[in-house]
Amino acid sequence: TNDTKTVLVTGGAGFIGSNFCRYMLQHHPNYRVVVLDALTYAGNLSTLADIQQNPANEARFRFYPGKIQDETVVRGILEAEQVNYIVNFAAESHNDRSLLDPGSFIQTDVYGVFVLLDAARRHHVERMVHISTDEVCGTISSGCFTEESPLLPNTPYSASKAGGELQARAHHIAYGTPVLITRCGNNFGPFQYPEKLLPFFITRLIDNKKVPLYGDGSQVRDWVYVMDHCSGIDFVLHHGVVGEIYNIGCNEEHSNKEIVRLLLETLGKPDTLVRTIPDPRGKAHDHRYSLSTEKIRSLGWRPSHPFREALQQTIRWYVENESWWRPIVSRPDYQDFISRFYGP
Ligand code: NAD
């Protein structure tokens, strides 16, 4: 499009948010991107370094440190930057951490979403897309979740994400706030914090360290390459109907066991590096997620990255970008969390 728009990307220093910034700068030459991020343990300015250091982005990109719960900061940015669109990625996002510290999840994933919705309404933001997850619907043994499936979250993380979604829904109905919700499955790709299964396992295997597989590894996830997720969000931002929910997915269901096998094969590592551990999530561990993507496909969106290729490319990215993840995995707070949760 030739329109000039300013997009506020909250949580833009994280995994999906940073990839979304790259996607938008590349696909919408007339857009400006503004990031608000609290730089929690999961947010990292080095994740945005390639964008910030590119002189072509000088007038098109701006970073603000701060929390989405901070109404003054949020309203200040909407005003100063004349924001047209908000896309909210900011969240506490790790299930295992939500078992240890559920309160921080409510602060960001519920209250923070409310602050953004409230500010969006007061400042007449044209559209807000709230990024959510298939996990809000809980587990499903056969068939798949549609946008109408009931919310049945099983972990403090997914319950908080469901709370954020409900705030968005209610603000649309009560105030006409132009918000849309997207739900997606397990993302993978560059710049994912190495506590999530794929980058955690890849970075451990590179160092010939054992990887902990929960239970029998039969849990099934609906895998999405992060750039397909980003193109889906961009599509919903421009073509979705306000107040509606859209699932984004690639119909690629794979068990954790299968994913581990692919990692071992690609990296040329032995099976002996896999250690089976009792499932630390216990009953809260959803066995299977699966999303119907008929709604977004009927509007014309399609994913464009074949799973195997995207996975190989992602593995290669971690092999070639140790300078990004090494400083993270050597931090004491990272090592404390990993050994506390998964053992040495
Ligand atoms: P991430 O943990 O990598 O990034 C989250 C970012 O939000 C970090 O940069 C962090 O500093 C920032 N942040 C946290 N709390 C904040 C606050 N209070 N104010 C401002 N910034 C804050 O997470 P991700 O994997 O990129 O996930 C992004 C979004 O997508 C989340 O809302 C998550 O629920 C959703 N999602 C993720 C996946 C997945 O597979 N990773 C799947 C579906 C949905």
Q: Say which amino acid occupies 71.
A: E
Answer whether 164 contacts ligand 1 (Cβ < 6 A). no
Cβ of 90 closer than 6 Å to ligand 1, yes or no, is: yes
pLDDT in tens, 304-327: 999 999 999 999 999 999 999 999
Q: Check pLDDT > 70 for residue 302.
A: yes
Mean pLDDT of the chain: 96
283 CA from centroid of ligand 1 (Å)? 24
Q: Please check the confidence at residue 134 and state whether its pLDDT lies above 90.
A: yes
Assess: ipTM above 0.90.
yes
CB distance 68 to ligand 1 below 6 Å: yes
CA of residue 70 to ligand 1 center, whole Å: 17
Phi, psi for 48 (deg, rounded to 5): -105, 5
Selecting among 23, 37, 109, 157, the annotated active-site residue is: 157
Query: Ligand 1: which residue has its CA nearest to atom 19?
Result: 67
Say if residues 163 and 198 touch (Cβ distance below 8 Å): no
Q: Which two tokens stand for residue 201?
A: 């396992």
Q: What is the mean pLDDT of residues 242-256?
A: 97
Q: What is the pLDDT of residue 3?
A: 87
The pLDDT of residue 343 is 76
Domain ranges of the chain: 5-193+224-251+287-306
- Helix (H) or strand (E) holding 260, with range, is helix 256-267
Index of the ligand 1 atom closest to the CA of residue 161: 34
- Catalytic-labelled residue, pool 134, 165, 222, 286: 134
135 labelled catalytic: yes
Q: Check if 86 has its Cβ closer than 6 Å to any atom of ligand 1.
A: no
Percentage with pLDDT > 70 across the chain: 99
For residues 140 and 143, give the distance between their C-alpha atoms in angstroms, rounded to a whole number.
7
Task: Among 3.40.50.720, 3.30.43.10, 3.40.50.150, 3.30.70.890, name the CATH number for the domain at 5-193+224-251+287-306.
Answer: 3.40.50.720
Output 234-237 pairs: Cβ under 8 A, ≥24 positions apart: 234/20, 234/23, 234/24, 234/27, 235/296, 235/299, 235/300, 235/301, 236/129, 236/180, 236/182, 236/296, 237/85, 237/87, 237/127, 237/129, 237/180
Instruction: Verify whether ligand 1 is closer than 6 Å to residue 224 (CB atom).
Output: no
Give the active site residue among 37, 135, 195, 222: 135
Please tell me whether residue 243 adopts helix, strand or coil conformation.
Answer: coil
C-alpha of residue 110 to centroid of ligand 1, in Å:
13
Question: Closest ligand 1 atom, CA of 94?
Answer: 2
Catalytic residue check, 157: yes
Q: Which pLDDT belongs to residue 200? A: 97
pLDDT in the model for residue 1: 57
> What's the pLDDT at 341?
81
**Is the pLDDT assigned to residue 168 strictly greater than 70?**
yes
Q: What is the mean pLDDT of residues 56-70?
A: 97
82-133 pLDDT per residue, tens: 999 999 999 999 999 999 999 999 999 999 999 999 999 999 999 999 999 9
Strand partners, 129: 87, 180
Residue 284 has pLDDT above 90, yes or no: no
34: left (phi over 0), alpha (psi -120 to 50) or beta: beta
Ligand 1 atom, smallest distance to 18 CA: 26
